[in-house]
Amino acid sequence: MLLPSLICPFEGLFSSMKIYTALALSVLSLFMAGCDMPKEKINEPTALRVATFNVSMDASNYLSHEAIPEQGAGALRTALASQHPQIKAVAEIIQHTRPDVLVLNEFDFIDASEGIDVFRHEYLQVSQNGESPIAYPYVFIAPVNTGVPSPYDLNGDGVAQGTGDDAWGYGLYPGQYGMAVLSKYPIDYSRVRTFQKFKWKDMPGALAPLKPGTSEPFYSTAAWNELPLSSKSHWDLPIQVKDHVLHLLVSHPTPPVFDGKENRNGRRNFDEIRFWSDYIQPHLSNYIYDDKGEKGGLPEHAAFVIAGDLNASVDGKDNVPGAIQQLLNHPLIHAENPPTSRGGAAHTPDNPIASQHTAGWRKRADYVLPSTAGISLIQSGVFWPIAGEPKAELVQNRKASSDHRLVWIDIQLK
């Protein structure tokens, strides 16, 4: 009878121990399960070089002006097939600077198999003057408005001749002054947006040109209703850089010259630049539509780089005042510490900002502008060696390579 009386006092203790053991096992089970649960993904910072280069690879670089209308569309094809020295020099500059993502302006829009693919495989992937070959597995090209005939008298001379000043964008044949993008990283082709057909009239407050000294529209109602904003095109290319998405915003606005007192080209240039200023701000971009009809611009906090020959400068009187300042003073764009070169400074020694010049005609025309969101700027530069330095012969003049210089930035996506 003593045994039960001795055991019974411990029954409550054993019961409590069972409960605590069960709780401990439950906590341990949850902890172990948590070890297998997916954790929040953290994107590692990624550095890359983004560049733009107006390569002057259109017919005017290979043919006389008289021969361009008839032979223009085939001039680049012929030049590429002949191992042209100007194209080899362009390739050498690219191999030397080694961008990861590269915008090419004034690369005629022709069939890829005869154009950009030949340039990639037979020039860039072949050593030029001892430089290491460079491969770009991802390419984007698309039609542009230059040289595409319109049925209207767009320059106001009384004759609707279709091409030249009367094309939708100045050009003597369709595809002249085209654009191309080369990338080491995948381009998300399913999400690419192009704006070749966006109508100028659909931009709120568009700077429609007026007849000099009047308040009358310069363009006829029919022409204005069809005139695209882009003299070439505007592109938004999402590029997958490891765990990051970078939006490359590409364009080549019309030069603000070669017109009359109506300033039709200057006004168009201003609004082509304004397009990007609005596009990167969700509260201002709801009027924009792409070539598929999708409306709006970039989402808030998207990482982007605006790149291309924008034909605008702070030290010139050709542009409508404030044209490039729409981007350089934009709160969402990092425009401090612009790319520079010693060659530019030496080319125009009496100009205090000549080191920022990107063209042989003494202006900063080419830009690679990163967003403040998602990007840190590491360094930047303009490929423009001074006389006596290696490769200075590549930038002697347009015939050597181009009248523009390659402009690059090194950035970190974060």
Kindly report, residue by residue over 35-94, the tens digit of the pLDDT. Answer: 444 444 556 889 999 999 999 999 999 999 999 998 998 999 999 999 999 999 999 999
Which runs of consecutive H residues, i.e. helices, occur in 82-167?
85-97, 116-119
Domains annotated for the chain, with CATH where assigned, are: 46-413 (3.60.10.10)
Report pLDDT for 14.
Answer: 37
Report pLDDT for 39.
Answer: 47
Report pLDDT for 316.
Answer: 81
Q: Which residues sit opposite 380 in a β-bridge?
A: 409
Low-confidence stretches of the chain (pLDDT < 70) are 1-43
Q: What is the DSSP letter of 408?
A: E
Cα angle vertex 87, ends 173, 411, to 5°? 100
Q: What are 240's two structure tokens?
A: 């997958």
pTM of the model: 0.90
Report pLDDT for 182.
Answer: 98
Pairing mode, strands 101-107 and 179-183: antiparallel
Report pLDDT for 21.
Answer: 44
Is the Cβ–Cβ distance between 171 and 259 less than 8 Å? no
Report pLDDT for 42.
Answer: 57
